[in-house]
């Protein structure tokens, strides 16, 4: 567990701005989805925007980290779109 | 046993066999998840188009009726009786909202909630209405009403003796919507009270308690319910018992998938940190943050809206 905490701290310290950006976007996502609760199309649009931001964030983060690779980009796209499709079933059945 | 352990190790722990990245997080596995999610969305959409009752949500009038009375019992109040005339009024109100494309207690043409009650032949002394839309579960609807002081007052009002529900799916503002209408009432009983002009009936509309602005007309016979192809009515008497609950399944599938993905990310993250593995891959911490917000969003989405 110690390794994990040390690694987490190191990672957050190294990329403080990047993770702050992602968390801020996440908070905006929750606020927006709460504000438009019950409006299915808007809920899905907000979800789509957050998933797109997450993919762009991934590309940006790896670009400035000098670790951009097609496999990384694919990973963000696959996770983002899988979650998008799963939630679409609930939001727009 | 060793084979099973080896399989799980290969699936979740970064080792030499999986190129130091949990196999469950490899792009080929992630692609499989995406295909499954896409397949599910298409299949469920097709099932939804075949009008399986209660596809959009897992809300039933029976459950709403039980939960409402449970809340009243907790407060030491008598149980409400299910009234078909109020259920008819609730259905007509929901259908009116779909037909005239509005989401409010009062229709754009000035029609009031008590017009529907009277049209269905229920002469009331007290009446009230609660509305909800796009909730996933019955518990969520009653929970949200109980958290809102005005709706809570309606549920826990001792003046009411009867209740009726309608859970109707349809298209509102161009989107598939599930409306829940709850109508409360107490019938006119005393001979004096049955003369509306001398004693105007009171309407309890969320928090506001006010006399009806118009004198109720003589009660019409219940209007027959016309079912349209994109709208479904579920009343407490007709709600299917132990019905196949697709929304509950999709909700559970989502949670199982997110839990599996989180488990894979946490284990991979932990062991990669422990073994000081340096590799080219996506950031688990970022995935973890993203999924955390998605789960929180999912819980908000399940709550729907009330007025």
- Per-residue tens of pLDDT for chain B, all 307 residues: 788 888 888 888 888 888 888 899 999 999 999 998 888 878 776 665 433 333 456 788 899 999 999 999 999 999 999 999 999 999 999 999 999 999 899 999 989 998 999 999 999 889 999 999 888 888 889 999 999 999 999 999 999 999 999 998 888 877 778 899 999 999 987 554 444 444 444 555 553 333 343 333 333 333 333 333 333 444 433 444 444 556 667 777 777 888 888 888 888 888 888 888 877 777 888 998 999 999 899 888 877 788 8
Interface test mutation site (partner B, options A70, A89, A91, A92, max chain B beta carbons within 10 A): A89
Tokens of B216: 């109720």
Q: What is the pLDDT of residue A63?
A: 93
pLDDT of residue B48: 54
CB within 8 Å of B163: residues ≥ 6 apart: B65, B68, B80, B81, B82, B83, B86, B182, B183, B184, B185
CA distance B4 to chain A (A): 25
Residue B257: half-sphere exposure toward Cβ, Cα within 13 Å: 24
Closest chain B residue by Cα to residue A53: B290
Enter the DSSP assignment of B204. Answer: E
B23 chain-A contacts, CB cut-off 8 A: none
Residues of B in contact with A88 (CB under 8 A): 41
Provide φ and ψ at B128, rounded to 5°.
-155, 165
The yes-or-no verdict on residue A75 having pLDDT over 90 is yes
Each residue of B230-284: pLDDT tens digit? Answer: 334 444 334 444 445 566 677 777 778 888 888 888 888 888 888 888 777 778 8
CA distance A64 to chain B (A): 13
The strand ranges marked E within chain B are 81-82, 124-133, 162-172, 175-187, 202-205, 208-211, 232-234, 305-306
Q: Looking at beta carbons, which pairs linking B101-104 to residues 24 or more positions away fall under 8 Å?
A: B101/B172, B101/B173, B103/B131, B103/B133, B103/B172, B103/B173, B103/B179, B103/B307, B104/B307
User: Given this model, what pLDDT does residue B230 score?
Assistant: 37
Distance CA A11, CA A14 (A): 5
Contacts with B34 from chain A: Cβ below 8 Å: 78, 81-82, 85
- Residue contact B282–A75, C-beta within 8 A: yes
Q: Nearest 5°: CA angle at B227, between B223 and B231?
A: 125
Overall domain count for chain A: 1
> CA–CA distance from B89 to each of B112, B145, B167, B184, B227 (Å)?
11, 20, 12, 10, 14
Q: What are the structure tokens assigned to B173, written together?
A: 């503002």
Name the average pLDDT for chain A: 90
| Nearest CA distance, A66 vs chain B (angstrom) | 10
Q: What are A8-31's pLDDT values in tens digits?
A: 888 889 999 999 999 999 999 999
- Expressed as residue numbers, the domain containing A41 is 2-91
């Amino acid at each position: 567990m110690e390794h994990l905490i040390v690694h987490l701290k190191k990672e957050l310290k190294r990329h403080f701005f990047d993770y702050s950006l992602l968390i801020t976007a996440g908070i905006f996502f929750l606020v927006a989805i709460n504000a438009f609760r019950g409006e299915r199309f808007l809920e899905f649009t907000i979800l789509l925007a957050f998933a797109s931001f997450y993919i762009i964030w991934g590309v940006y983060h790896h670009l400035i980290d000098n670790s951009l690779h097609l496999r990384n980009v694919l990973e963000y796209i696959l996770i983002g779109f899988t979650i998008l499709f799963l939630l679409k079933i609930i939001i727009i059945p | 046993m060793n084979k099973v352990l080896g399989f799980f190790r290969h699936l979740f722990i970064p080792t030499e066999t999986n190129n130091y990245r949990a196999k469950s997080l490899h792009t080929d596995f992630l692609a499989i998840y995406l295909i499954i999610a896409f397949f599910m969305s298409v299949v469920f959409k097709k099932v939804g188009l075949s009008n399986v009752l209660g596809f959009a949500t897992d809300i039933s009038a029976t459950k709403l009726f039980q939960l409402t009375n449970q809340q009243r019992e907790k407060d030491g109040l008598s149980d409400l009786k299910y009234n078909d005339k109020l259920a008819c009024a609730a259905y007509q109100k929901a259908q009116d909202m779909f037909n005239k494309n509005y989401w409010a207690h009062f229709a754009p043409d000035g029609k009031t909630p008590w017009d529907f009650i009277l049209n269905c032949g229920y002469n009331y002394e007290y009446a009230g209405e609660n509305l909800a839309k796009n909730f996933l579960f019955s518990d969520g609807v009653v929970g949200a009403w109980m958290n809102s002081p005005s709706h809570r007052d309606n549920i826990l009002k001792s003046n009411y003796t009867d209740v009726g529900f309608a859970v109707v799916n349809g298209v509102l503002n161009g989107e598939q919507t599930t409306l829940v209408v709850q109508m409360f009432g107490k019938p006119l009983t005393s001979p004096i009270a049955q003369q509306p002009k001398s004693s105007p009936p009171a309407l309890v509309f969320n928090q506001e308690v006010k006399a009806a602005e118009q004198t109720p007309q003589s009660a019409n016979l219940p209007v027959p319910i016309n079912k349209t192809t994109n709208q479904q009515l579920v009343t407490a008497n007709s709600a299917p018992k132990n019905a196949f609950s697709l929304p509950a399944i999709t909700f559970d599938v989502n949670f199982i998938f997110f839990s599996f993905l989180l488990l894979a990310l946490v284990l991979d993250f932990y062991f990669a940190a422990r073994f000081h593995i340096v590799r080219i891959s996506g950031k688990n911490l970022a995935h973890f943050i993203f999924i955390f917000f998605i789960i929180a969003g999912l819980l908000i989405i399940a709550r729907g809206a009330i007025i």
